Structures are given as C-alpha cells and as structure tokens.
Amino acid sequence: MAEVSLSVRHYMSSRLATLYENQDIREAVKIFTERNLFGGAVMDNRGSLVGILSVTDCIDAALRSGYHSGWRGTVGEKMSRDIRTVDAEDSILDVAKMFMDDHYRRYPVVDDNRVVGVITRLDVLKALRTVSASGFAV
C-alpha cells in the first residue's frame, strides 16, 4: 500500500492571485473573474503578506460604488488584515480542526515565510477522503 501524505503541501492549490495594497480594486475584480478565483493574497511593497482580499470584499465594493457612481478604492482599503496562515508542512488533520474552529473558508499556505498556495475547506475534505480511503484512521 502506498504511503499517504498528511502534509498540506500535497493538497493545497497553487492557483492563487497575488495582489498589492495600492492596486485598484477593479484590477482585482478582473483577475478574480477571469481566473475564477475566490480570493487573493495581498502583499506590501516588500513582498510580505499583509492581508486577504475575497470576492465578498469585492462585492461589497461594487455595492457601495452604486451609491457613489463608480468603483473606487484600492485593494488595501477593502482587504481583511485579519489573516491566519498555515505552513506547507502542517498536517491536513490539524488544518481540518482549524476549519472546524474558525470562520475562515481558506488559508494562505506559507513555506519559508513565502506564500506558496492556498488551502480551502473543499481541499481538506478531498484530502480527508483520500486519507480515509487509504485505511488511515482519521
């Protein structure tokens, strides 16, 4: 029987938008809609993770713009600074528990302090299915 990895690295997606604080919110919307993404990591000018911008944040910006005739604002003004990351080598079981305890739908995945991907609730569910099918007790 092949060994099944429990490492987040094996289940995360590397499909992640990288955005910048000073980027126009309309550019982020274009990236999300063209690439079918639900969010992106926001970096400062040094490349450090400073926030997360979600589709929900963009919807909020769109709704508010209706009252002010035109989309205005930057990614930095709309993003959430309340970020929690997981390490690429963390156990998928630990991340599953994090999802059960938190309101987050996805976590940026970091490796050596660099954002390398994203892990979602669905990714974790797929991983648990794979782990369970391998005979590993979850």
What integer pLDDT is reported at residue 1 of this predicted model?
A: 47
1 belongs to a structural domain = no
Find out whether 109 and 88 touch, Cβ atoms under 8 Å.
yes
> What number of other Cβ atoms are within 10 A of residue 114's Cβ?
11
**pLDDT, tens digit, for every residue of 2-28?**
577 899 999 999 888 999 999 999 999
What integer pLDDT is reported at residue 64 of this predicted model?
A: 77
Q: Is the dihedral of CA 41, 51, 7, 130 positive or negative?
A: negative
Find out whether 106 and 120 touch, Cβ atoms under 8 Å.
yes
Amino acid present at 45: N
138 belongs to a structural domain = no
58 belongs to a structural domain = yes
> What number of other Cβ atoms are within 10 A of residue 75's Cβ?
25
Q: CA 96 to CA 124: how far, in whole Å?
A: 6
What integer pLDDT is reported at residue 99 of this predicted model?
A: 97
86 belongs to a structural domain = yes
Give the DSSP H or E segment for 63.
Answer: helix 55-67
Tokens 């940026």, residue located: 108
45 belongs to a structural domain = yes
What integer pLDDT is reported at residue 67 of this predicted model?
A: 62
Number of domains in the chain: 1
**pLDDT, tens digit, for every residue of 88-115?**
999 999 999 999 999 888 999 999 888 9
Q: Looking at residue 57, which CATH number applies to its domain?
A: 3.10.580.10
The pTM of the full predicted model, rounded to 2 decimals, is 0.82
pLDDT range class, residue 137, cuts 50, 70, 90? low
- Domain range holding 91? 8-133
